[in-house]
Amino acid sequence: MQMLELTRAPVIASHSSARALNDVSRNLDVEQLMALKENGGVVQTVAFRSYLNTEKNSANRAAAQAATSAVAEEMDFEILGGRGRGGGRGGRGALQAMSDLERDAYQAGLARVQEASAVRIAEEVDPVTPPVGVADFVDHIDYLVELIGIEHVGISSDFDGGGGITGWNDASETFNVTLELVRRGYTEQEIGMIWSGNLLRVLDEVQAVAAEIQAGS
């Protein structure tokens, strides 16, 4: 809020969703969103599971870890650290203490457990305790568009920071987001605004303000 009071240029919230839908600190609340609208900026809804729906994500992760642990037990394989997806800090220490041969054998065994677990998770966990997906992501876009207007809403991924959602885990699945927007009635022009137009507008305006400041006006 201090930044919005001080800035002469529009602001980008590059990796934030709606706090009204999921109460985490990186998401923006109504006061912040309305101030961003007044500023002329843009909020980039982020494809990060825990920012979109913490409760849903936690339930799915717990169920997936339980399934992975069960598969490991059936295969008589101990996952270092005692956690379903490969172990925690203690697991890493034990791995580092292994010889190269032991480490290679462990990694090969873990890969077999993870491969088998992926099948069980897809068949038994996800249908009952679904993961955060594209629909949850676009729910945030819908909310933001209704609250502050489509010209202030954008999209961001977080693939290099542990992000991604079911249906959009990497760039190859990007079309799934566009398809969901089409299903919800967004026009081609509106989708273009959300994907890039709004962000590029803000960048152009920021450059114009920078030029004015540099010129001393």
- pTM of the entire predicted model: 0.85
**How does the average pLDDT of the chain come out, rounded?**
92
What are the DSSP calls for the chain, one per residue? -HHHHH-SS--EETT--BTTTS--TTSB-HHHHHHHHHHT-EEEEE-BHHHH-HHHHHHHHHHHHHHHHHHHHHTT-PPGGG-TTS--HHHHHHHHTS-HHHHHHHHHHHHHHHHHHHHHIIIIITTTSPPPBHHHHHHHHHHHHHHH-GGGEEEE--GGGT-BBBTBSSGGGTHHHHHHHHHTT--HHHHHIIIIIHHHHHHHHHHHHHHHHHTT-
For 9-58, how does the pLDDT look when each residue is reduced to its tens digit (9 = 90+)?
999 999 999 999 999 999 999 999 999 999 999 999 999 999 999 999 99
For 70-83, how does the pLDDT look when each residue is reduced to its tens digit (9 = 90+)?
999 999 999 987 54
